[in-house]
């Protein structure tokens, strides 16, 4: 037992460093990966877990670096640093408490505990200043008592709330998404937080009040031979690995979102193709058949059997023409009453694109001579298709849309900073759709690599419909 005690005593600094590092990695991973645009409730709670990781890491590293600073800054500076360290511990627990509360929204318990972390911090600070500071004979005793109280008051309930909240999120929000490895990792993280509540919330520094005078770090190590910081380090490492693996849910959410856009674009392209086939083929044939029937009716008497049947056939063709035109209107793009500038601004704020890419606009369009509505619809469809291609394939961060009138021409540029066009370039639904719409507008479109980086789509069409 003495050799084990000596081993942990000699490696105390290493244990503290690993302990702080595991929580710092937890905070850093969440801060870098959290997606604020996500529709998952978990995304809005994770910043509090990241704050807990950073604050808790700094608190644990304080036991490493404050003694080193004392030799240079003096005893008074160390008092200030240890006081800050004690406050950081309570603050980290408050962050964890708030994380748990937000995970439980919109339950009645979450509404009841709203603002609870701030209230517990206020009570902890008041008790520490009003009772511990005047009564304790030394500052290290004040710090130990304040440390223990923060673990009992804030750390223990905060970790239990977080564990319960993660389990609830996993079962109610993540399980229906059919991502078993994310569900499994969230469960592991919940179990880790439950163990953290025990080892960090109940095992406190030696203090004079119950239960810390019985169950504390000294009695724990004397019983098991291992300091509680070792278990806390293992729990922190497990929590960090589990949460980092669970963050895959945001990448999966993005992939499914992009797949949804692709499906919408394919359906839209197919609807446009069917609409063009109806207009250019079926309707024209029905119209021609109607003309032939009308011509034949002129050679028949009005009361003749053949004439009556031809009249009925003409009526049936007219009904078919009405139905075809109605279906054609349903298939076509929904008309917009907004101007092109208003529509482009709305498209730039579209939640389907905004979280995935930053869209900037450079518009020079006359307010007193607007584009015809029919051309606006086609141009917006081209921009929408170009943005969809950027989201699906370009891996871009920014897209710039330029639109301006030059003489009697309308010119559009959509340029991204992504990876450029693939080689060899294959023309899919999206590119064909853009080229078909440019042809319908009586202009031309160029899709090429940008000069520096990314892809550029250049559209040049007449400002008005050509006669």
137 and 8 in a common domain: yes
Query: For residue 306, what are its two tokens?
Result: 């053949």
- At 10, the pLDDT band (50, 70, 90 cuts) reads confident
Write down the pLDDT at residue 213.
Answer: 93
- Quote the CA–CA distance of 95 and 222 in Å, as a whole number: 32
Tell me whether residue 253 is in a domain.
no
172 and 123 in a common domain: yes
pLDDT digits (tens, 9 = 90+) for 406-436: 888 999 999 999 888 877 766 666 777 788 8
Q: For residue 408, what is the domain's CATH number?
A: 3.30.565.10
pLDDT digits (tens, 9 = 90+) for 265-307: 666 667 777 777 776 667 677 767 777 777 777 777 666 777 7
- At 308, the pLDDT band (50, 70, 90 cuts) reads confident
Range with lowest mean pLDDT among 61-70, 80-89, 330-339, 444-453: 330-339
Going by their DSSP bridges, the two strands 358-364 and 398-406 should be labelled as parallel
Query: Domain boundary at 310, 331, 352, which?
Result: 331
Write down the pLDDT at residue 198.
Answer: 96
State the number of CA atoms in the 13 A half-sphere of 161 facing the CB. Answer: 29
Neighbour count for residue 425 (Cβ, 10 Å) = 11
Of residues 79 and 308, more confidently modeled? 79
DSSP assigned state of 399:
E
Q: For residue 167, what is the domain's CATH number?
A: 1.20.1070.10
CB 67 within 8 A of CB 61: no
Of residues 275 and 52, more confidently modeled? 52
Cα-Cα end-to-end distance for the chain: 97
Mean residue pLDDT of the chain comes to 84
94 and 46 in a common domain: yes
- Quote the CA–CA distance of 416 and 398 in Å, as a whole number: 6
Tell me whether residue 67 is in a domain.
yes
pLDDT digits (tens, 9 = 90+) for 318-334: 777 777 766 665 565 55
220 and 78 in a common domain: yes
Of residues 234 and 110, more confidently modeled? 234
- Rounded (10°) CA dihedral 167, 173, 178, 179: -60
CB 411 within 8 A of CB 403: yes
Write down the pLDDT at residue 5.
Answer: 66
Tell me whether residue 252 is in a domain.
no
- Quote the CA–CA distance of 266 and 272 in Å, as a whole number: 10
Q: Distance between alpha carbon 231 and the CA centroid of its chain, in Å? A: 33
Beta strands in 246-382 (DSSP E): 358-364
Query: What total number of domains does the chain contain?
Result: 3
Q: Is the pLDDT of residue 467 over 60?
A: no
pLDDT digits (tens, 9 = 90+) for 368-403: 777 887 788 889 888 988 888 888 778 888 999 999
- At 194, the pLDDT band (50, 70, 90 cuts) reads very high
């Amino acid at each position: 037992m003495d050799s084990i005690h000596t081993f942990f005593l000699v490696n105390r600094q290493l244990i503290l460093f690993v302990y702080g590092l595991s929580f710092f990695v937890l905070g850093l991973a969440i801060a870098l990966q959290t997606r604020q645009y996500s529709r998952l409730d978990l995304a809005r709670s994770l910043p509090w877990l990241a704050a807990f990781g950073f604050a808790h890491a700094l608190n644990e590293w304080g036991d490493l670096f404050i003694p080193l600073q004392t030799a240079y800054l003096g005893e008074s500076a160390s008092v200030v640093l240890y006081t800050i360290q004690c406050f950081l511990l309570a603050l980290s627990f408050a962050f964890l408490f708030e994380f748990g509360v937000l995970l439980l929204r919109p339950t009645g318990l979450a509404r009841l505990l709203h603002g609870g972390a701030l209230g517990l911090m206020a009570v902890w600070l008041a008790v520490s200043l009003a009772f511990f500071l005047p009564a304790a004979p030394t500052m290290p005793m004040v710090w130990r008592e304040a440390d223990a109280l923060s673990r009992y008051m804030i750390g223990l309930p905060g970790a239990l709330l977080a564990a319960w909240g993660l389990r609830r999120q996993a079962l109610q929000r993540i399980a229906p998404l059919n991502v078993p490895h994310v569900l499994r990792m969230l469960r592991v993280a919940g179990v880790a937080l439950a163990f953290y509540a025990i080892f960090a919330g109940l095992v406190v520094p030696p203090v004079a009040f119950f239960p810390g005078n019985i169950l504390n770090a000294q009695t724990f190590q004397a019983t098991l031979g291992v300091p509680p910081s070792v278990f806390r380090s293992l729990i922190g490492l497990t929590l960090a690995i589990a949460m980092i693996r669970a963050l895959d849910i945001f990448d999966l959410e993005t992939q499914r979102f992009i797949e949804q856009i692709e499906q919408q674009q394919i359906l839209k392209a197919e609807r446009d193709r069917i609409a063009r086939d109806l207009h250019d083929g079926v309707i024209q044939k029905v119209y021609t058949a109607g003309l032939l029937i009308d011509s034949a009716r002129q050679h028949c008497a009005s009361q003749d059997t053949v004439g009556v049947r031809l009249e009925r056939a003409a009526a049936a063709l007219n009904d078919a023409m009405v139905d075809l035109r109605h279906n054609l209107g349903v298939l076509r793009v929904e008309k917009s009453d907004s101007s092109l500038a208003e529509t482009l601004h709305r498209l730039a704020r579209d939640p389907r694109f905004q979280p995935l890419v930053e869209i900037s606009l450079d518009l020079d369009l006359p307010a007193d001579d607007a584009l015809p509505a029919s051309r606006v619809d086609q141009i917006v469809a081209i921009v929408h298709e170009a943005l969809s291609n950027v989201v699906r394939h370009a891996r871009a961060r920014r897209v710039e849309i330029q639109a301006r009138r030059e003489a009697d021409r309308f010119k559009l540029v959509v340029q991204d900073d992504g990876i450029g066009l693939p080689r060899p370039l294959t023309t899919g639904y999206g590119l064909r759709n853009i080229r078909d719409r440019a042809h319908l507008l009586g202009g031309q479109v160029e899709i090429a690599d940008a000069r520096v980086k990314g892809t550029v789509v250049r559209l040049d069409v007449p400002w008005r419909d050509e006669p």
